A and B are shown apart, each in its own frame.
Chain A
Amino acid sequence: MAERQYDWAAIAKNPKFVELHHKKSAFLFGWWIFSTVYYFLLPIGAAYAPGLFKVKVIGVVNFGYVFALSQFFVSWGLAHYYAHVANKDFDRLTRELVDELK
């Protein structure tokens, strides 16, 4: 199969690609750092703020339990938020870029 040759350096300078790169980098690394920090609050909090984790929230269910459970919802929420932004923004920019190269 004959492979199409691309001028990669030119694509990398294409305004569409530059926009994609900026938007994506900001989103990916920003949210990755957020999720990592949020996650490490759990073991750090459990070890160094046990008093807080013991505070009862609903019935016998305490803050620690709710916080651990929230990790699941934050992860799912972030995953869907990413999918939403990627489907809407990143994929659109990519498509426009590919169309431009045709």
Chain B
Amino acid sequence: MKKLIAAFTLALSLGTLAYAAEPAKAPAGPGASSAVTAPAASPTAPAVAAPSATPAAPAAAPLPLKKEIKADKTITIGMFAIIIGITMAVVVWAAKRTKTAADFYAAGGGITGMQNGWAIAGDYMSAASFLGISGMISLYGYDGFMYSVGWLVAYITVLLIVAEPCRNAGKYTLGDILSFRTDPKPVRAVAALATVAVTTFYLTAQMVGAGKLMALLVGIPYKVSIIGVGILMVGYVVFGGMTATTWVQIIKAGLLMSGAFLLSVLVMAKAGFNPIGFFSDIVNNPNIQRHVSNLVLKDGVILSGTDAGQRFLEPGLFMKAPLDQISLGLALVLGTAGMPHILMRFFTVPTAQAARKSVIVAMWLIGIFYVLTTLLGFGAAIHVTPQGISAVDAGGNMATLLLAQQLGADIAPIVGDIFLAFLCSVAFATILAVVSGLVLAASAAIAHDIYVNVIKDGHADQHEQVMAARITSLCVGAVGIVIGITAEKQNVAHLVALAFAVASSGNLPVVVMSLFWRKFNTAGVISGLVVGTIAAIGLVMVSPNMTYPKVVAAGAQKAITALEKKQAALPPGATLDEKDLKALNKAKADYEKNKDGTSILGLDKPILKLKNPGIFSIPLGFLAAIIGTLAFPSRRSEEMFDEIYVRQNTGIGMAKAIDH
């Protein structure tokens, strides 16, 4: 068995390397392939990065790239190979230790608080945080910083409400906690479905983002990137289970923190390590001033000089719908604590004290990272300029990478290349760590809740449980790859926000009530999960996140009118220049294609004005759980409350969860 695993791992890593190296061997490739992939990446990348806060002009035609960013292929792929090599070694080591279901799902409860803290940070900070938030700061200043705050504050809920109780009362999955004093079969089935829904949304966004990022940065074709990332994530999870996933996440967090730290030092060095001077640099920077003047001009405000520079440090350049921001904030603060892949991390530590410590370690890492991100974002605005950043990617996602390349190149050109390659591999490791955690969470829900506990009534020996978990992970991973490939052209902008909305409206209310409300019962769990999840998904389906062809057509119509007017104004005989003609033809084609279309639900325009449904769906989730509970009271659930309440508070009887 060991040899088999080793052989498989070797084959997997070689296969992936071969895939990754393939485009490098084709000299005809780079120019052509980047021309094809880069424009496609620009409209969706910001979406992946900033879930809630996608630029307000979805109807606008994708901006043609004036510039592009290309990492040095040899150095970058070399660094990818090192990461793959190290993580594969971890997998081989972890595979030997993965014998029981507890090993597979919870690393045998043998992760320390410190390790788990790093792993949580690695699990949580996706490429969206890494690239998207710094990009948002580099283009919109203060609003980007404000946006990052919610991602840290969310951990207060995790720390105070769910971390220790879950460690004390849980085992491997959300279903374990929810089925404690309820009718286990239906509850587990519904809990597993909710978990699969959340992880699928999140995974799809991550996979599509990964494919686009790799195409944009290294020129690896989209499909090859998805398959490569997919094979690696399946390899980590299937063979190494939670142990390997944990260490991949720890390695990633280490890389991410060192990358952010190094780059911040370079940025601060440029400002003479004077923070106040750094902010003056922002306000006095002519490029930032010009950029802000243009931004506020759209709102009919005229600003220039240092007034415009100062405006960059004030709110409102990006977030113009306060209710949407509050709604997103709610989804973050409550949703993080309902994310199955985050909850699962607390089953890997032996005690409640270790769970507590791990959240605190994670909070320091995540918080420091976001504070450094501010430096990177503003640093990119000063040194790369907002114009330069948006020329490469309209959403600003390349800000950090451009900054690294430029500050490195100021030392020596090769340093710029190495630094950029290093940050690309950080992005690569980031993607791997996040998707592995998601695949593991989804597999645990299917294998442990549905297969072992619903289908087999809990009668499955260790060997069978581990086998089921491995086969499920393989299938989940394969499905992830297929979805990633088919969703290439889809708008995945809303999926991250949707995952948080479902987690906060469906999962969180029932977890909290299971742990803290005596009367809570089977009917409550099911109605809460079902209503919360469906409300979140349903509201997103009628929100501005969806594509509304008639709205697109109206935008195209406007462009046609404007361009035709321009043409009419030209002297007789003259025609529009090539760029305008192209735009005109594209607008006409867009108009024809979209004028009779409707959204997926057959709507002409969004019913809900908000992009984030949390403010409605979260109360609905809570309400449904309460009504369901009161409508179908259960004496057994009430009687068993003492048990779960004592367990979750004290950890008494927890031996059951870690002894195996």
Q: Which residues of A contact B (CB under 8 A)?
A: 1, 3-4, 6, 8-9, 11-12, 17, 20-21, 24, 28, 31-32, 35-36, 39-40, 42-44, 46-48, 50, 53-54, 58-62, 64-65, 68-69, 71-72, 75-76, 78-80, 82-83, 86-87, 91, 94, 97-98, 101
Contacts and interface: CB of A to CB of B under 8 A. Distances in A.
Given A79-B156, A83-B360, A64 B149 contact: no
A79 B363 contact: yes
Given A40-B329, A94-B649, A28 B161 contact: yes
Given A8-B642, A8-B643, A46 B649 contact: no
Contact of A46 (B146, B367, B639, B646): B146
A43 B314 contact: no
A8 B640 CA distance: 8
A45 B651 CA distance: 41
Interface in B343-371: 353, 356-357, 359-360, 363-364, 367, 370-371
Contacts of B314: 50, 53-54, 62, 64
A60 B278 CA distance: 10
A65 B145 contact: yes
Interface string B298-322: 0000000000001001111001001
Interface residues of B, number: 53
B370 A72 contact: yes
B306 to A, nearest CB: 8
Given A60-B279, A65-B142, A47 B325 contact: yes
Nearest to B653: A6
Nearest to A69: B371
Given A62-B314, A83-B360, A87-B353, A75 B155 contact: yes
A75 B161 CA distance: 15
A65 B157 CA distance: 24
Contacts of B161: 28, 32
B333 interface: yes
A58 B145 CA distance: 18
B276 A72 contact: no
Contacts of B315: 46-47, 50, 53, 64
Contact of B156 (A4, A35, A48, A94): A35
A28 to B, nearest CB: 5
A98 B160 contact: no
Interchain residue pairs A-B with the least CB separation, the first 4 = A47-B322, A46-B315, A8-B643, A12-B642
B326 A43 contact: yes
Contact of A78 (B156, B313, B646, B659): B156
Given A3-B656, A39-B333, A46-B315, A79 B650 contact: no
A91 to B, nearest CB: 7
B322 A43 contact: yes
A54 B316 CA distance: 11
Given A28-B161, A35-B153, A75-B153, A80 B360 contact: yes
Contacts of B276: 58-61
A98 B659 contact: no
A33 to B, nearest CB: 10
Contact of B150 (A9, A28, A39): A39
Interface of B: 142, 145-146, 149-150, 152-153, 155-157, 159-161, 276, 279-280, 282-283, 310, 313-316, 319, 322, 325-326, 329, 333, 353, 356-357, 359-360, 363-364, 367, 370-371, 639-640, 642-643, 645-646, 649-653, 655-656, 659
Contacts of B280: 59-60
A96 B640 CA distance: 23
A11 B642 contact: yes
B641 to A, nearest CB: 8
Nearest to A4: B653
Nearest to A94: B650
A9 B642 contact: yes
Contacts of B313: 60-62, 64-65
A38 B393 CA distance: 34
Interface centre among A8, A24, A76 (most CB of B within 10 A): A8
Contact of B146 (A3, A62, A68, A97): A68
A100 to B, nearest CB: 11
A75 to B, nearest CB: 6
A79 B359 contact: yes
B156 A68 contact: no
A28 B315 CA distance: 32
A65 to B, nearest CB: 6
B296 to A, nearest CB: 13
A59 B277 CA distance: 9
A75 B156 contact: yes
A43 B655 CA distance: 44
B322 A48 contact: yes
A6 B149 CA distance: 44
Interface centre among B145, B156, B322, B643 (most CB of A within 10 A): B156
Nearest to A36: B333
B152 A75 contact: yes
A25 B279 CA distance: 43
A50 B311 CA distance: 11
Contact of B153 (A58, A71, A82): A71
Contacts of B160: 28, 31-32, 82
A42 B157 CA distance: 17
A94 B157 CA distance: 22
Nearest to A61: B279
A42 B188 CA distance: 38
Contact of A82 (B152, B159, B326, B650): B159
Contact of A71 (B152, B283, B639): B152
Interface centre among B160, B310, B363 (most CB of A within 10 A): B160
A56 B156 CA distance: 29
25 contacts: A8-B640, A20-B649, A31-B156, A32-B160, A32-B161, A42-B149, A43-B322, A46-B322, A47-B319, A59-B280, A60-B279, A60-B283, A61-B276, A64-B142, A64-B146, A64-B313, A65-B142, A71-B152, A71-B153, A72-B367, A75-B367, A76-B363, A76-B364, A83-B360, A86-B356
Nearest to B322: A47
A31 B35 CA distance: 53
A101 B653 CA distance: 12
A97 B650 contact: yes
A42 to B, nearest CB: 6
